[in-house]
Amino acid sequence: MEINRIGREVSVLSDQAEVPGIGFLPVNAFVLHGAEPVVVDTGLSLPGRGFLDALGTVIDPADVRWIWLTHPDRDHTGALFDLLELAPRARLVTTYLAMGIMSTERPLPVDRVFLLNPGQSLDAGGRRLTGFRPPLFDSPATVGFFDHSNGVCVSSDCFGAPMPTPELATCDDVANAPAEALHAGQLLWATVDSPWVHNVDRDRYLATMAPLREFDPAVILSTHLPPAPGRAAEFLDRAATAPDADPFVGPDQAALEELLATFEPAPPVVT
């Protein structure tokens, strides 16, 4: 896991996961530093990722006052319950639907939940965070936000893209990625993560981008993309073309068996 910084106010905890045949998918969480620090998402639900160790290098978990869960998918909730224990003063910002989804596995401490819907704002120690529904999403519980204090926009899964290498997946600026790879990767991810985009009413879909265009973010922070300063208009224009992108069709069983046939069995372990 890499730690990247955006100015003095934002730390990016950058992880990645290899997706065979697609590339290396960034998996980010974020820390907004300030009077009432905010942690956004809590990493992959895989063993040994070191999320809390990485978090501890940029902030004492006990000082965290807010945990903003953009949605309850497992690549966003890895260390959630551990962090709630380590941050006894923290409130969990989420939606009613996300709270219900999470509670099918493990009940959330309801007295620590702060329910916030798109269009509503949170005052985090003088920092106003306004929630919005990103134009592309894979969970109906998704709520990103715009930070009015610095122009940072957390877009959850929206605008994500697999990267060609793990180093690019955890880099500090998406400008390091080849332009063609970024363009193709964002359209691919749009069709993977939001396959419904091929079936939308075009005008209504484009209208969902209005809040982001009005915010005009200085920096886009996507869970699945390196930090992207100064790219909001470009990304929105690209997302507007997603309904015309080729639908994603994953490998079938025959392809899986062909892939497995290329693997050599691991040598026996000698004890």
CB 4 within 8 A of CB 14: yes
Token pair 């909001």 in the structure block, residue: 232
| CA pair distance 106, 113, nearest whole angstrom | 14
Dihedrals phi, psi of 4, to nearest 5 degrees:
-115, 155
What type of residue is 218?
A
**Bridge-partner residues for 213, per DSSP?**
none
Quick one: pLDDT at residue 270? Answer: 67
What would the pLDDT profile of 116-125 be if each residue is shown by its tens digit? 999 999 999 9
Quick one: pLDDT at residue 260? Answer: 86
Parse the chain into domains and list their residue ranges.
2-246
Using a 10 angstrom Cβ sphere, with 0-12 exposed, 13-18 middle and 19 or more buried, the burial of residue 260 is: exposed
Whether residue 269 has pLDDT greater than 90: no
Quick one: pLDDT at residue 266? Answer: 65
Whether residue 189 has pLDDT greater than 90: yes
Quick one: pLDDT at residue 263? Answer: 75
Distances (CA, A) of 3 to 50, 116, 197, 243: 12, 28, 33, 34
Token pair 């690549």 in the structure block, residue: 75
Quick one: pLDDT at residue 111? Answer: 96
Distances (CA, A) of 112 to 84, 88, 100, 105, 129: 9, 9, 14, 17, 18
Quick one: pLDDT at residue 166? Answer: 97
Nearest to 30 by CA among 72, 63, 69: 69
CA torsion through residues 53, 57, 60, 61, sign: negative
**152-156 and 23-32 strand pairing:** unpaired
What would the pLDDT profile of 125-169 be if each residue is shown by its tens digit? 999 999 999 999 999 999 999 999 999 999 999 999 999 999 999
Tokens of 196: 């419904």
The arithmetic mean of pLDDT across residues 45-51, rounded, is 90
- Sheet of 219-222: strand order equals 121-124, 127-132, 144-147, 152-156, 219-222, 228-229
Chain Cα centroid distance, residue 76: 7
Quick one: pLDDT at residue 150? Answer: 96
Whether residue 264 has pLDDT greater than 90: no
The Cβ of residue 95 has, within 10 Å, a number of other Cβ atoms equal to 23
In sequence order, which residues have a C-beta less than 8 Å from that of residue 29 and are 6 or more positions away? 12, 13, 15, 39, 40, 41, 42, 43, 51, 55, 76, 223
Quick one: pLDDT at residue 271? Answer: 63
Confidence of residue 193 (pLDDT cuts 50, 70, 90): very high
**Three-state secondary-structure class, residue 217:** coil
The arithmetic mean of pLDDT across residues 213-230, rounded, is 97
In this structure, of 153-167, 208-222, 253-267, the range with the lowest mean pLDDT score is 253-267
CATH H superfamily, domain 2-246: Ribonuclease Z/Hydroxyacylglutathione hydrolase-like (3.60.15.10)
Quick one: pLDDT at residue 225? Answer: 98
Quick one: pLDDT at residue 246? Answer: 96
